[in-house]
Amino acid sequence: MTQKTITRADIADAIYRELGFSHAESFKLIEQMLQDIIEALSEGETVKISKFASFIPHKKKERVGRNPKTGVKHAISPRTVVSFKASNTLKNMLKNS
């Protein structure tokens, strides 16, 4: 099976076909939705989409890392990262796909 890459355009197309919004409007709506998710995450909120997955912001403390090539130590600044936890529904759908 050859792998395809699905982008906003494909999702916008599905919204156009199934719900009748114009392509331009579909794009805007997808964008707005993604921005809303990002905004919630940046406020430290977990975003939980049932039957799909949770996006969880995790705060990381500063730590010392190493350049794996040279072995030189340097500090890794504190940061927030997003972790993705798939729902059981999604996991089961993929398991044997």
Residue 56 near another protein by CB under 8 A: no
Identify residues 57-76 at the interface with another protein (CB under 8 A).
Answer: 57, 74-76
84 binds another protein per the rule CB under 8 A? yes
Give per-residue burial for 12-40: e unless 16+ CB within 10 Å, then b: beebbeeeeeeeeebbeeeeeeeeeeeee
- Write out the H or E segment, with its range, that includes residue 94: helix 88-95
> Site residues (CB under 8 A) for another protein?
1, 3-8, 10-11, 14-15, 18-19, 21, 28-30, 32-34, 36-42, 45-53, 55, 57, 74-82, 84, 86, 90-91, 93-97
